[in-house]
A and B are shown apart, each in its own frame.
Chain A
Amino acid sequence: MTTPATTDPALIRNFCIIAHIDHGKSTLADRMLEVTGLVEGRHMRAQYLDRMDIERERGITIKAQNVRLPWTPRSGAHTGTEYVLDMIDTPGHVDFTYEVSRSLAACEGAVLLVDAAQGIEAQTLANLYLALENDLTIIPVLNKIDLPAAQPERYAEEIAHIIGCEPGDVLRVSGKTGVGVPELLDLIVDRIPAPTGEAAGPARAMIFDSVYDIYRGVITYVRVVDGRISARDKIKMMSTGATHELLEIGVISPEPKPVESLGVGEVGYFITGVKDVRQSRVGDTVTLQHKPAAESIGGYRDPKPMVYSGLYPIDGSEYPLLREALDKLLLNDAALTYEPETSAALGFGFRVGFLGLLHLEIVRERLEREAGISLISTAPNVVYRVVMEDGTEITVTNPSDWPEGKISAIYEPIVNATIIAPSDYTGAIMELCQGRRGQLGGMDYLSESRVELRYVLPLGEIIFDFFDALKSRTRGYASLDYSEGGEQESKLVKVDILLQGEAVDAFSAIVHKDKAYSYGVMMAGKLRELIPRQQFEVPIQAAVGSRVIARETVRAIRKDVLAKCYGGDITRKRKLLEKQKEGKKRMKMVGRVEVPQEAFVAALSTNESTASKK
């Protein structure tokens, strides 16, 4: 058995798996654990490496995982020698592109895993390009060849066309049955280069993930590039200069195993006792205090929220609980930002910044599930840069902060989006993107029947319901990826929604001026359905500034009385009254208008679950 810390870099292979969300990455990883003998069949559980419940339920990987596998090839040039394979499982979603790029940077090679019944998808393609930029060796693999719908010939050709190899070079495996998995492991040893680094130089290791554990504090996952980090060393974070004592250093195989030290090319973890993942940031370089490296590995950047939303407890008394839960989440999520915010309609809550919509969904779900708080989230919005005529500049992360005075220019973030779909849907996709103010950047045929479209789109246009619309127009066949593309100047306005003349802050939205009318009509119509009739007429208006652009009316209620008395069953009548009074208490007052919480929830819901993003 190759011992950590004394392993010759020449015997190490670091690789990751690039795959679309349900193309079988976790299942393949499960088989690798079995084939290498690391986990016996009877101890096996599905998606062994996914730690969070949400990950298992949704079949997605949110946090990077890694595992050290011993493998003695049975074929190829290295037959009979034991190697160490470090597999780094990357997050699988567009929100976490930066994390993916760091995971890739920790490897020398990547397995490009494609579902033999589906073909390559947009995010996979984007991650493949990331891997190529990082000079990774790519091993193309078709998975799920056991499926009756598998078309390995067709998709092998597609992959060959994209990466420039022969269709015959594309390995065929089944993560489900295990067919081809040993051959794949052999190929990884054969093809992927061994890591290289200055064994005698100052220690440098790159953080590719860090997680918070309630018992142990922050666990930081690193790949050692140069030198050696030992259990007795004092380490130094190069971005901040902070130093920490090491409490433990080890490898995952597949459970954490403490070791003496980690050398060049090795992947492992360390624990310092810090309690907040912000002190162990993904992408940062770790060195030693007594003999620090002069330069970091590079590529580090601060996570930047792209999408903001107001989170409010449905029960206002749970506000302190929400704060506590956010504080706790923060320990494990370096990308999360939040600050208190007050809404006239929703009460006390937080303005929370996220990497993207999935990130928002996950945070929301964890708050609801782990802390048991029911939440309302306001419509998500992006960050706008507003330049006033007097030259002052305002950053708007909340429609409520939209400035009143004369505006000279407004800038909104844009993204470079890639959409892959069967070519039959090209027209439908173009129509959708044009409707979302998209500009076509280019178009390529991946094969005769599949096309890749590149668009520049305002981020604000795709965070609401774009993905759902895309899926429904392409019968679920399209996949989407996007990356930040800077900003553009746009004609944007704030649309307010007024109940009985009073603006409801929670419903205000920033939209393009050509869309203000349709947003106003949609929201006013939705609210007319959702707001119960009151003892008086309630006008609902949508307005841009002082100009009303849409109007609906909730007519006054005329009947609210139970005709009969249930034959002396006064108890039933009183219980009904008490229930109605409870319901009344849960109403939010907007001026004189009673608005049920459910109306806020329903009006603000996007009818879209980003969980369905595939």
Chain B
Amino acid sequence: MNTVLPLLPAPGLPAGAPGPDALPDSAREHLATTPFGLYVHVPFCATRCGYCDFNTYTSDELGPGANRAEYAGTAIAELRRAARTLGPDLPTVSTVFVGGGTPTLLPAADLAAVLGEIRRLFPVADDVEVTTEANPETVDRGYLSVLREAGFTRVSLGMQSAAEHVLAVLDRRHTPGRAVEAAHEARAAGFEHVNLDLIYGTPGETDADWAASLDAVLSGPVDHVSAYALIVEEGTRLARRIRNGELPMPDDDVLADRYEQADATLRGAGFDWYEVSNWATSDAARCRHNELYWANANWWGVGPGAHSHVGGLRWWNVKHPAAYADRLTAGVSPAQDAELLDDADRALETIMLGLRLREGLPLELLSDVGRRRAADSVARGLLDPAAHAAGRAVLTDRGRLLADAVVRDLTD
């Protein structure tokens, strides 16, 4: 038992309820033919950024199995459970994504060990995509080389902005030039695929700041860019500062301007959007793990708070690393809860997720009302007329910025 934190054991799933220990037949049915990925969550950060509401911890005293030094072993314990559960006919792993938190707070050897264990436990595709997220200040050439040699194929660096004052508002600790430098190091270490993450709409950010950030990204050796609008999440320090009037709330029109600016700049540099917030230089440069989510394929999420989806069954793990480690040590599933999607849920999710992709979705997935709404949306300039004529719902440039409204209309 964990003695460091006075945690009550999380209740977990009731015995026999659908979950990772009791996969219903319906969930197994298409296991072999559906793309399968693994997500490994690393719940540690050096400091907590003011805008972040992810499941991450800055303390290194989280309890047995949950400390940084032991964490890789704990994650491996869940990977073994995953292989046991999904076996004996294991799906082939097509993508692995290590996210956080800050995965690169762990020694590179630990990340390599996790990947090694995945290869030992699962059949892995020849062209497997293996990504890790990284904070620019936590990596160097040597670290990145170890990862590359271990089989990692892609690095996603959290750059956020090239403006110092914007990074300060976001509580990011790297200097403005560091992210692009790290991208060069990754390239030098042999990574073919490098992504830079940007955030736009931070209080105080100007059009010029944003233009400078985009220029900085394009000066680096990257084949992929993610640009996310700043979301002020309840309970974060940023939300508190905005509520207290210290910072202004990001304005939706400004966010729309920034998005259009990003799309135009990236397009000019040879990047095409393939998902609302993601751009790549070619099909091969797309993040296939991300596409797995949008395509509603199968993935197993390892780590505290991680979410999984296998054939219409979704589950998520207990959030606290100590509770997570305790459960694995005790030999029980770390899943906290699960939901088995019904046909209506799945249909809704398919539209909600698929519409965000450049390929859009076939009109036949829509209801009669949804198809009528799709025609309205074409008339309003939100869906592409040519694609519509060819039987698909595909967002226009303006439609991308109103994607949620289109989803609501199409699922009426």
Contacts and interface: CB of A to CB of B under 8 A. Distances in A.
A559 interface: yes
B259 interface: yes
B307 A571 contact: yes
A580 B408 CA distance: 8
A581 B293 contact: no
A558 B316 contact: no
Given A564-B277, A577-B407, A584-B408, A559 B348 contact: no
A557 interface: yes
B404 interface: yes
B352 A574 contact: yes
A112 B307 CA distance: 73
B54 A567 contact: yes
Contacts of B382: 535
Contacts of B232: none
A570 B293 contact: yes
Interface in A560-577: 560-565, 567-571, 573-574, 577
B349 A574 contact: yes
A536 interface: yes
Contacts of A564: 228, 231, 277
A561 B306 contact: no
A576 to B, nearest CB: 9
Contact of A563 (B231, B253, B307): B231
Given A535-B380, A573-B352, A561 B316 contact: no
Nearest to B292: A568
B309 interface: yes
B150 interface: no
A559 B407 contact: no
B252 interface: yes
Given A535-B380, A567-B307, A568-B293, A561 B39 contact: no
Contact of B309 (A559, A563, A568, A577): A568
B324 interface: no
A76 to B, nearest CB: 67
A570 B307 contact: yes
Contact of A561 (B54, B276, B309, B349): B276
A580 B407 CA distance: 11
Contacts of B54: 567
Contacts of B402: 535, 557-561
Contacts of A571: 307, 314, 316, 339
B307 A569 contact: yes
A559 B349 contact: no
Nearest to B99: A567
B108 interface: no
Interface string B230-254: 0100000000000000000000110
A580 B412 CA distance: 11
A562 B231 contact: yes
B213 interface: no
Interface string A60-77: 000000000000000000
A577 B401 contact: no
B360 interface: no
B404 A568 contact: no
Contacts of B253: 558-559
A560 B348 contact: no
Contacts of B339: 571
Contacts of A557: 252, 402, 405
A564 to B, nearest CB: 5
A136 to B, nearest CB: 59
Nearest to B337: A571
A568 B256 contact: no
Interface in B150-174: none
Contact of B301 (A561, A568, A580, A584): A568
A581 B408 contact: yes
Interface string A512-543: 00000000000000000000000110000000
A573 B348 CA distance: 11
Nearest to B39: A568
A315 B307 CA distance: 37
Interface in B281-309: 293-294, 296, 299, 301, 306-309
Given A573-B352, A577-B348, A563 B314 contact: no
Contacts of A584: 408
Contact of A577 (B228, B252, B380, B408): B408
B408 A561 contact: no
A562 B353 CA distance: 11
Interface string B394-412: 0000001111110110010
A535 B256 CA distance: 14
B345 interface: yes
B404 A562 contact: yes
Nearest to A565: B293
Contacts of B83: none
A581 B231 contact: no
Interface string A567-597: 1111101100110110010000000000000
A560 B409 CA distance: 12
Contacts of B401: 558-561
A248 B339 CA distance: 64
B352 A568 contact: no
A581 B411 contact: yes
A559 B39 contact: no
Contacts of B41: 567
Nearest to B199: A563
Contact of B404 (A565, A578, A580): A580
A430 B326 CA distance: 76
Interface centre among A536, A562, A570, A581 (most CB of B within 10 A): A570
Contacts of B294: 565
A388 B364 CA distance: 60
Contacts of A559: 229, 252-253, 255-256, 259, 401-402
Contacts of A558: 252-253, 256, 401-402
Interface string B27-59: 000000000000101000000000000100000
Interface string B346-382: 0011001100000000000000000000000000101
Contact of A535 (B296, B314, B405): B405
A167 B115 CA distance: 98
A534 B314 CA distance: 34
Contact of B380 (A536, A567, A578, A580): A536
Given A535-B402, A558-B401, A560-B401, A570 B349 contact: yes
A535 B309 CA distance: 34
Contacts of A580: 404, 408
Nearest to B252: A559
A570 B309 contact: yes
B293 to A, nearest CB: 6
Nearest to B348: A574
B99 A561 contact: no
Q: Point out which of A559, A562, A569 has the most chain B C-beta atoms below 10 A from its C-beta.
A: A559
A574 B345 contact: yes
A104 B235 CA distance: 60
Nearest to B301: A568
B235 to A, nearest CB: 14
Interface string A104-146: 0000000000000000000000000000000000000000000
A581 B306 CA distance: 27
A570 B353 contact: yes
Contacts of B296: 570
Contacts of B407: 577
A568 B305 CA distance: 11
21 contacts: A558-B402, A559-B255, A559-B256, A560-B402, A560-B403, A560-B404, A560-B405, A561-B276, A561-B400, A561-B401, A563-B228, A565-B293, A567-B39, A568-B39, A568-B299, A568-B307, A570-B314, A571-B307, A571-B339, A577-B352, A577-B404
Given A564-B228, A568-B39, A574-B349, 9 more contacts: A557-B252, A562-B404, A567-B306, A568-B309, A570-B307, A571-B316, A577-B411, A581-B408, A584-B408
The 9 nearest A-B residue pairs measured at CB: A558-B256, A561-B403, A563-B228, A559-B256, A563-B229, A568-B307, A560-B405, A559-B252, A560-B402
